[in-house]
A and B are shown apart, each in its own frame.
Chain A
């Protein structure tokens, strides 16, 4: 019950942060990625600000045995640098650069009721689904 309430609150706070930070505007993201021409470096501050808060918090929480409303912490255990990581991240980078939307801001942009952002989300979800048919 509390886990669900805090999921909603976390999503909401995350969405507010994305909006204030400027991540939900694809043209701002493109201006950030466009380093050779009239570069707008603002979005470095979004990632930097987030890491500046999360990194020390994770450090302080590292000896905590369990989360408040769940039985255990779920942290990815994989340490392998493999082909999938490199190929997947490259594909994601190209897609992000083409449009200026990554998954979080894409979902938040539903709020603006723009048909094109809905089209992007449907395409992204199709991409998730298509990985079932790809063997790497």
Chain B
């Protein structure tokens, strides 16, 4: 069954296109691919591009605030997971994106758009594992 009530194809498509504009703008001006896991982890660990990375991160945080300010829309943020699950999930996202060298943006958007075999495979793997994880959380009623 498809959830028709919460289905937002238009706003999601517009959001996606705007993300695409950001990726291309970043690439054409700085020469870099906007992979967020890489930007965040290298800000913590490397001096190269540190200030530029930090500004990108500040921009990411300002994004929702600017949208709320100008659109006067409420933005829903609903996270119902328990604290232990959040810690485990966060650790896995950090470890996994660093070991696999990319996340939804780096592999999923930039990599696929460059026809990178590594990124196409990575995206298929993380999507499947995420779907299986959600399936079992539901089945076992864990939150």
User: CB within 8 Å of B: which residues of A?
Assistant: 2-28, 30-31, 33-55, 57-58, 61, 64, 66-76, 78-81, 84-104, 106-112, 114, 116-117, 119-131, 134, 136
**CB atoms of B22 and A17 under 8 A apart:** yes
Task: Known A-B contacts: A10-B59, A54-B24, A126-B91. Give 5 more (CB < 8 A).
Answer: A76-B118, A92-B129, A93-B133, A95-B91, A126-B94
Q: Is B83 an interface residue (CB 8 A)?
A: yes
Residues of chain A within 8 A of B68, CB atoms compared: 19
Q: Which chain B residue has the least Cβ–Cβ distance from A12? A: B59
B108: chain A residues within 8 A (beta carbon): 47
B6 proximity list for chain A (CB < 8 A):
28, 31, 40, 42
- Which single member of A104, A125, A127 contacts B96 (CB below 8 Å)? A127
**Interchain CB contact under 8 A, B131 and A35:** yes
| Nearest CB of B to A29, in Å | 9
A24 and B77 within 8 A (CB): yes
Q: Which residues of the other chain, A, contact B118 by a CB distance below 8 angstroms?
A: 76, 78-81, 85
A7, A49, A125: the one contacting B17 at CB < 8 Å is A49
Known: A52-B20, A88-B101. A122 touches B107 (CB 8 A): no
- Give the number of A-B contacts (CB < 8 Å): 490
Residues of B within 8 A of A109 (CB): 64, 77
Q: How far is the CB of A2 from chain B (nearest CB, A)?
A: 7
Q: Are B93 and A127 in contact (CB under 8 A)?
A: yes
Given A58-B114, A67-B27, A88-B101, verify A49-B15 contact (CB < 8 Å).
yes
Is the CB–CB distance between B51 and A93 below 8 Å? no
Q: Is the CB of A102 within 8 A of B93?
A: yes
Chain A nearest CB, measured from B99 CB (Å):
3
A24 is contacted by which of B33, B56, B64 (Cβ under 8 Å)? B64
* Chain B residues whose CB sits within 8 angstroms of the CB of A57 once the complex forms: 20, 24, 27, 113
> Interface digits, B53-91 against A, CB 8 Å rule (1 contact, 0 not)?
101111111111111100000011111110101111111
Cα separation A14 to B17 with both chains bound (whole Å):
10
Contact B67 A19 (CB under 8 A): yes
Residues of A within 8 A of B67 (CB): 15-16, 19-20
- Is B30 in contact with chain A by the CB < 8 A criterion? yes
Q: Are B94 and A125 in contact (CB under 8 A)?
A: yes
Q: Point out the residues of chain A lying under 8 angstroms from B110, CB to CB.
A: 54
Kindly report which residue of chain A lies nearest to residue B10, judged by CB atoms. Answer: A45
Q: Which residues of B contact A71 (CB under 8 A)?
A: 31
